[in-house]
Amino acid sequence: MALYKTEGIVVRTRNLGEADRIITLYTRDRGKVEGVARGSRRARSRLMGATQLFTYGNYLMYSGRSLDTISQAEIQESFAGLRNDLIKMAHASYIAELLDLSVEPEEPSEDLFALLYESFTALDQDKPPEIVLRWFELHLMVLLGYQPELRHCVGCGSVASEARFSVREGGLLCPRCLSKDPTAIAVRPSTIQWMKQLMLAPAQRLGVMRPSLDDSQALETVGRAYIDYRLARPLKSLDFLASIKDLA
C-alpha cells in the first residue's frame, strides 16, 4: 500500500458502520479523493476534528484497492464558523456539493482548490452569502470551461444589446438570433454588468458589491439555470438553502 500526503478541504462526509466516516476531500494536488477515517466518530479519536465537513487540513493517506484510508490528519483551518451558523452552513454546503458534483476524482486543479478556499474564507468572514454563491458559480463555470459570453451575441457575434441569456448556447442572444433558443431568459443590462463584474472581482471585493434586489434575483435565476443545465442530478443542498430563506 502506498502512503501519500495531501492537503485538502472536506467537501462531503458519510457515516460508515458504527464509528467510521468516509470523507471526500478536494485536495490542492490531487483533486477529489475519498478516504475512510476509521473510528473518527468516537469522541477521543485523533481524526475527529480534521475529518469534519468544511475543514481544511493535512492528511496522510494509504491508498487501498477500493478506498483510501486516512492514517493521520491535522487541521490547518477548521472553518468552524461555517458549521456553527445555520446560514453559513447552508451556503457552504451548496458550494461543497456543487464542487463535488462538478469534478471527477483525481483531476487536480489548483485554481479550483483556490476557488473553494477563497469562497469558504469569504463566507467565514461574513461577506454576503448570496454574493459569494454567485461569485463561486461563475468562477466555477469559467474554470470548467463554460465561461458565458456576455459581450457578443453567440449567434451572430454582433454587440448584443437588448439581449437574452441562453443557458443552452452559453451566452447572450440578440433579438435576431433568438430562434436558436426561444427559452433564453430576459435579462436587464444591469444584471449582465453584475455578471461581468463578478467574473472579474477578487474575493476580497465581495463585501462591497451590492446589486439591487431585482439584480440579485436575476443573478440567482441565471446562475442556477446555467449550472443546472450542466449537472447530472439536482443538488440536495438546495432544499437546505430554501429552508434558510424561509427563516430569514
Q: How many whole angstroms separate alpha carbon 21 and alpha carbon 35?
A: 8
In the range 74-93, which residues lie near Zn ion by CB under 5 A? none
> Nearest distance from residue 161's CB to Zn ion, in Å?
11
156: contact with Zn ion by CB under 5 A: yes
174: contact with Zn ion by CB under 5 A: yes
177: contact with Zn ion by CB under 5 A: yes
206: contact with Zn ion by CB under 5 A: no
159: contact with Zn ion by CB under 5 A: no
**Interacting residue with Zn ion among 99, 153, 192, 222 (CB under 5 A):** 153
Buried b (16+ CB within 10 A) or exposed e, 127-146: bbbbbbbbbbbbbbbebeeb
Q: What is residue 133's three-state secondary structure?
A: helix
- What is the H or E stretch that residue 61 is in? strand 56-63
Nearer to Zn ion, 140 or 174 (CB): 174
Give the dihedral of Cα atoms 143, 148, 152, 153; nearest 10 deg.
Answer: 140
HSE toward the beta carbon, residue 123, CA cutoff 13 A: 31
Number of residues that bind Zn ion (CB under 5 A): 5
The one-letter code for the residue type at 86 is L
Question: Within a 10 A sphere around the Cβ of 211, how many other Cβ atoms?
Answer: 21
171: contact with Zn ion by CB under 5 A: no
Nearer to Zn ion, 156 or 242 (CB): 156
Residues 6+ apart with CB under 8 A from 17: none
> Nearest distance from residue 174's CB to Zn ion, in Å?
3
Q: What is residue 11's three-state secondary structure?
A: strand
CA distances from 44 to 19, 40, 48, 143, 154 (A): 11, 8, 8, 40, 57
96: contact with Zn ion by CB under 5 A: no
Nearer to Zn ion, 123 or 154 (CB): 154
Question: With CB under 5 A as the contact rule, which of the stretches 135-143, 153-161, 193-201, 217-225 interacts with Zn ion?
Answer: 153-161
Nearer to Zn ion, 22 or 174 (CB): 174
Question: With CB under 5 A as the contact rule, which of the stretches 66-74, 89-97, 169-177, 218-226 interacts with Zn ion?
Answer: 169-177
**Interacting residue with Zn ion among 31, 57, 155, 171 (CB under 5 A):** 155
> Nearest distance from residue 150's CB to Zn ion, in Å?
14
By CB under 5 A, name the binding residues for Zn ion. 153, 155-156, 174, 177
